[in-house]
Amino acid sequence: MISRVGVVADGTDGHLPADFINPIFAYSLNRKLRYLYDGDWFRFREGDVEKDYPSNTPDFDNEVRLVRMYDQKEKYGVSKVDAIAPSVAEQPILIKRNNLIVAVFEQGHFLEIKGLESLVVDEFHILATCKSDYPRPAFGMWGNSQSVTVEPSTEAVGKFTVNRNRGGMLTSTGNTYGCFYGFDASQNKQRVMSVNDIGHNVKTETVASIDNIAIGRKDSRYYNGEVLEVVMHLSDLEQHNGSTITNNTIEYYNGYQ
């Protein structure tokens, strides 16, 4: 039983999201996602100088930009793939609020995730801590005829979409959303989509031929809002386990409002 995830308790009385079972990627600005991970969490830019965190501390009195988020996963046979801003113009702004580091995406800012597209299957769990005023793609995957988005919102009902399927995302404590798409054993193994344990049966939509994965973008739609953490698991994470890491992440970011 996992009782808590927190700054002091990391790895001592419970698993972190990337320790629970192998994710396809794991990015965070504020914590390590694997107990044994010993690398940096992200790269930032101050002026023309790039540095890594937490090896170096940004001076938030000046403009700080997010260059890349390091992949903290450990998945056998799958290389680590960082989320990278394609150019200086696409780099989100980094700020610090209530002891949390937050990436602020304005129109045109995004991070690409290249090299994992062919691994995406039509059963997955996306864990995202993010905040926006209206539904926009904090996380997106898309191809010529398919797409998946996680779109938080504080002023309307957020959206979790898989092609033609759409689920509502109510603002949760900590602005953390656990989005599951796959088969639910408790509902006669019917395909469902759920957000933080609230879900419904859906039409089967095959998710394949994904050509692009990004934080802050889905095709020509860009994100205006904040992102702190994104972790994605494939079919090797059961729905119950997804709920466990979601609830623990909600607890960890309880003060993020």
Q: Which residue type does 164 have?
A: R
Among 199, 203, 219, smallest CA distance to 211 is for: 219
> Exposed (0-12), middle (13-18) or buried (19+): which is 115, by Cβ within 10 Å?
middle
Q: Are residues 4 and 43 in contact, defined by beta-carbon separation less than 8 angstroms?
A: no
CB 44 within 8 A of CB 53: yes
Digit-by-digit pLDDT tens for the chain (257 residues) are 222 223 333 443 456 899 988 999 999 999 999 999 999 999 999 999 999 999 999 999 999 999 999 999 988 899 999 999 999 999 999 999 999 999 999 989 999 999 999 999 889 999 999 999 999 999 999 999 899 999 999 999 999 999 989 888 887 677 999 999 998 877 778 888 999 888 888 888 888 889 999 999 999 999 999 999 999 999 878 777 888 899 899 999 988 87
17-252 to CATH, choices 2.60.120.200, 3.30.750.200, 1.20.1250.20, 3.40.50.300: 2.60.120.200
Domain range summary for the chain, segments of one domain joined by +:
17-252
Point out which residues pair with 215 in neighbouring strands: 111, 139
Q: How far is CA 78 from CA 28, 118, 208, in A?
A: 19, 11, 18
- Give the C-alpha distances (Å, rounded to integers) separating 69 from 82, 88, 195, 215: 6, 15, 25, 10
Question: Tokens 């779109």 appear where?
Answer: 151
Whole-model pTM above 0.85?
A: yes
